[in-house]
Amino acid sequence: MRGISLILTVLSTFTGAAFAAMTYESNEESPGTPAVAVCDGDVYIAWARPDLTLKFGLFELKGSGDLWLDESESLSDRTANALGLSISDDKLLMAWADSDGDVDLVYYKIKSAGDFKFVDKKGVGKKSSGGASVAIGGTRGYIGYVDQKDSRVTVAVYDLGKSRPKRKNIIELPECETNYPCSIGVVDNVLVVAWVNEKGKLSLTTYEIKGSVKDTKLTYVKEYPTEDRLAAQPALAVIGDEVLAAYVDRDDQYIHMRYYTVESDMSLSEGTELRISERPSTSVALALDAKESIYAVYIDEDGEIALHKR
């Protein structure tokens, strides 16, 4: 696949222009979907190696199209499921569900580029039917997963204001019942959940975040079902009041994306739709930076981590 560029086609009626894009390829192999987070131009990726043990590191995007691993850390934990990764200021959270379905998280502090310090590892104490998703909002950390018992999206809330993450409460979302892993994002006081409904199509559901870290409540606002047919789990990324949702289309197998804006009344307004003309072998993970550049990470047809940026 090396040397093959991706074409980003803009399908929105708002603009007919095609945007320049670049694909970066690594030699890091993985059997499952990696996770990506970006802060101040630094790109962090977490993934499972071929033996399913976890690895996390800082990557550099080379002009030659290489995705170069600068610094990394290995974990003995194992998973074949998609991971979650989120950065906010100096906080970094990673979460996954292990081979038994137990949801775990690791908390790092980011000192500077390439200098990340392990703080703590915790078990959430719940089981997921698939992977895990992560979002950070202020001093709250949110771990989203689909509960193994009743197939509902569930969110574990953590206090990140102290030196170590402390679990506060676990909130089940009965409106989001699914057999696929979910993805979550936070925009101010709104939690956005991307999930696959009973028709196998993408839905976005919003919740108002209420209360303090010690007593967080999620109040249902509205569901936004789509006609998008998914081949795998969805992905979410947020920046400011913008939300980007992505998925691998069940029919054409390409990566599709759509922007949403969280309005002041907590409603979602739909915006630009994009398609990346590449067929990954896994689902996709997303990140947005302060300039709203898109970072889409997935496993290519050679079984290696690839990153598409535009």
The residue with greater pLDDT, 16 or 202, is 202
Q: What is the pLDDT of residue 238?
A: 96
Closest by alpha carbon to 82, among 188, 200, 180? 180
Q: Mean pLDDT for the chain?
A: 90
Q: Which residues pair with 239 in a beta bridge?
A: 242
Which residues lie below 8 Å from residue 121, measured CB to CB, with a gap of 6+? 104, 105, 106, 107
Rounded to an integer, the average pLDDT of 124-136 is 95
Closest by alpha carbon to 223, among 268, 274, 159? 268
Residue range 193-239, pLDDT digits in tens: 999 999 999 999 999 999 877 789 999 999 999 999 998 899 999 99
Closest by alpha carbon to 287, among 185, 207, 208? 185
Q: What is the pLDDT of residue 102?
A: 96
Phi, psi of 188 (to 5 degrees): 55, -115
The residue with greater pLDDT, 90 or 114, is 90
The fraction of the chain above a pLDDT of 70, given in percent, is 93
How far apart CA 87 and CA 99 sit, in angstroms, is: 25
Whether the pLDDT of residue 87 is over 50: the answer is yes
Whether the pLDDT of residue 244 is over 70: the answer is yes
Residue bearing tokens 């898109």: 294
State the distance between the two ends of the chain, measured CA to CA, in whole angstroms: 19
Q: Are 72 and 56 in contact (CB under 8 A)?
A: yes
Quote the pTM value.
0.91
Rounded to an integer, the average pLDDT of 164-190 is 95
Radius of gyration of the chain (CA): 18
Whether the pLDDT of residue 13 is over 90: the answer is no
For residue 213, give the 3-state DSSP assignment. Answer: helix
How far apart CA 61 and CA 66 sit, in angstroms, is: 6
Paired tokens of 265: 């009344």
Whether the pLDDT of residue 1 is over 60: the answer is no
Confidence band of 7 (pLDDT split at 50, 70, 90): very low
Helix (H) or strand (E) holding 192: strand 190-196
Rounded to an integer, the average pLDDT of 36-57 is 94
